[in-house]
Amino acid sequence: MPFTKKPNFDFKIENNKIVLGKDYLFKNKKYFKKITGSRLASILGLNSFTTPVKAWAIMTNIFKDEMDPTLLETGIIIEPKIKKYVEKKLNIHYLTYNPIKVKFDIFNDNDIFGGIPDGEPIELTGKINYDLGPMLEIKTSSYDAFVFKNEKNVLKLIKDSNNIPLVKVKNKKYESWFNENKINIPTEYAYQLGLYMFLRKINNGLFAVSFIEKQYYANPNAFIPNEKNTYLINFKINNIDSFSKKIDQAREWYQKYILTGISPELTPEDMKWIKNELDSYEK
C-alpha cells in the first residue's frame, strides 16, 4: 500500500531523513503508535523484514503495512484453536483480549511501550496469576514457501482453482525454523514475547508454533492442532540486564525519532522502498 498521507505536504524527504510537516506533527502526535512487541526488533534494526525507518513510518501513521488477506484470515481462525490446544495440554486457562475493546494495548500506564500478549494465565475467577503458568505467544507458519505476486507493493498469494496456495519450495518455511533438529525462535519473535514479559515483570514464557499444510489456507476451520503440527517451546529472557539495555535503547529511539517527527537516517533499502511507494502513490 502506498503512503497514506500526502508527500511534500504531510511529510518530505530532507537531509536523507523523512521529516513530518509541523502542522501534521502538531495535530497527530497524540495518535502516534507505541512500541509494541511486533515493532521492538524492527526499531532496534534486528528484523530482516522491516527497517527502523519503515517502523517509524507506520508508528507516525504516514504508512500502513498490508498483509495478504488469506494469511490474515487463516491466522485469525487458527490461533484460537491453538490456544485451546495449549490450555488442554497444560491444564492452564488463558485470558485473551479483544483488540478493539482494549484499543490494541493493555499497558495503558506506559507512554512508550504497549501491545497485547496472546495469552495470560488466569484463575477460574478470571484473575491473572503467573504462578499458574507462562505467558503465551502463538505463531503460525506454513510448511512450504508459497508463490506471491506484487500488487501495488503488497505481496499477494497466488492460488490454484481450489483456492490453495501454489508452492514455490516444499518444506522451506518449516525447515527454516529448525537448527540441528531443535526449533529456533526467530529474533523478532523473541523480542516480541520478551517485551511483554518485561512489562509484566515475569520471566516465564511459552511459544506455541503451529505449522499449517497448504490445503488449510483454503479451509482453516478444518485445521486441528496436534503434537505432529504444533510445538511448545519454553522461553526465558536469558540476560535481564542486557535486555533492559535494549529497552532503554528503544525508549531513546522513541524520544529521538517519534516525538520529534524526524525519522532515522535512510538506508539504500529504505530509499528503494520509498521510491516504490511514492511511485504507487502518484499512480
Residue 98: CA count within 13 A, CB half-sphere: 2
* Cβ contact 184:178 at 8 Å: yes
In order of 106, 222, 242, the CA distances from 202 in angstroms are 16, 35, 15
How far apart are the C-alpha atoms of 211 and 158, rounded to whole Å?
Answer: 19
Nearest to 235 by CA among 175, 185, 180: 185
Q: Which amino acid is at 102?
A: V
Return the C-alpha cell found at 153.
Answer: 507493493
Cβ–Cβ under 8 Å, residues 276 and 153: yes
Q: How confident is the model at residue 2, as a pLDDT?
A: 75
Check residue 1 and give its pLDDT: 56
Full-model pTM:
0.94
pLDDT 10s digit of each residue in the chain, 283 long? 579 999 999 999 999 999 999 999 999 999 999 999 999 999 999 998 899 999 999 999 999 988 999 999 999 999 999 999 999 999 999 999 999 999 999 999 999 999 999 999 999 999 999 999 999 999 999 999 999 998 877 899 999 999 999 999 999 999 999 988 899 999 999 999 999 999 999 999 999 999 999 999 999 999 999 999 999 999 999 999 999 999 999 999 999 999 999 999 999 999 999 998 888 765 5
Length of the chain counted residue by residue: 283
CA distance 204 to 225: 23
